[in-house]
Amino acid sequence: MTSLPFTQVDAFADAPFTGNPAAVIPLDAWLDDATLQAIAAENNLSETAFTVPTPDDAEADYGLRWFTPTVEVKLCGHATLASGHVLIDGDVIRFRTRHAGILTVTRDGGGYALSLPAWDMAPKPLPDLAAGLGGQPVETHWRDGGYALFFYPDAAAIRALTPDFATLKAHGDLLLMATAPGDDSDIISRCFVPGGGVDEDPVTGSAHCLLTRFWADRLGRTQISAYQASARGGRLGCTLAGDRVILTGRCRTVIEGRFIL
């Protein structure tokens, strides 16, 4: 019998039972992909993060991969923040990822600052996705790789969305972001990934790689307060710093134990 250390963390959580839960499972060496995926399915959280030490890597302290219950993802912000919370020893920790390069988590007062790539989008008609999402978006934008943004007129429209998840799932593994000016923050959003096994993601760090640049251009400033209006809810500070986005937030450890294989 093999057992692995297991920590469940609420990331981007400023109060109990908020933020986005992530499992963090440090490994000594990579398990096969099928086992990693099976562990993530068993956890049944939006993401499970796996890490492996990289002592011979001058640029990173750990390798990092993320899995939803059904697929491996190319970038996950909240599970990176959670991994930093579990593993940081000092002021900064660096993760090497397969598709997003080096990601860093730095202590920031009582929370953390997470450095992610800043991504652009371009206007594009997305009528089928907009119909599945619902409401009346006034603009739609796209980034190759499966990222779609829907701009709505106000926060009430975001909160009222009731997507048709079966229709959206048929379009594949896409990250669908609905956003509008916020009512108690600069911006508000909700994020949906039904094709990736997560109908609505509670708080989505990777979405803010796109939302931060989109709103910085629109608002004419680089610092933005963000609220993701899922049932759990979560708050993020967002700063556009050249080709990087710096997200700030707090983490809360909620479960510690062993995962038994």
CA distance 71 to 56: 29
Q: Whose CA is closest to 180, among 159, 210, 205?
A: 159
pLDDT of 244 above 80: yes
pLDDT of 92 above 80: yes
* Secondary-structure class of domain 122-231 per CATH: alpha beta
Mark whether 47 is an active-site residue: yes
Assign 15 a pLDDT band (cuts: 50, 70, 90).
confident
Percent of the chain with pLDDT over 70: 100
Which run of H or E residues covers position 22?
strand 20-26
How do 3-11 and 251-260 pair as beta strands? antiparallel
Assign 104 a pLDDT band (cuts: 50, 70, 90).
very high
pLDDT of 16 above 90: no
Domain with CATH 3.10.310.10 in the chain: 3-117+248-260, 122-231
Q: pLDDT, tens digit, for every residue of 29-64?
A: 999 999 999 999 999 999 999 999 999 999 999 999
Mean of per-residue pLDDT scores for the chain = 97
Distances in whole angstroms, Cα of residue 162 to Cα of each of 113, 132, 231, 257:
32, 9, 12, 36
pLDDT of 88 above 90: yes
pLDDT of 213 above 80: yes
Pick 3-117+248-260's CATH classification: 3.10.310.10, 3.40.50.300, 2.40.50.100, 3.60.15.10: 3.10.310.10
Which one of 42, 47, 72, 139 is the catalytic residue? 47
pLDDT of 1 above 80: no
Give residue 97's pLDDT. 98
Q: pLDDT, tens digit, for every residue of 147-187?
A: 999 999 999 999 999 999 999 999 999 999 999 999 999 99
Give residue 159's pLDDT. 98
Residue with tokens 């996950």: 76
Give residue 169's pLDDT. 97
Residue with tokens 């499972």: 25
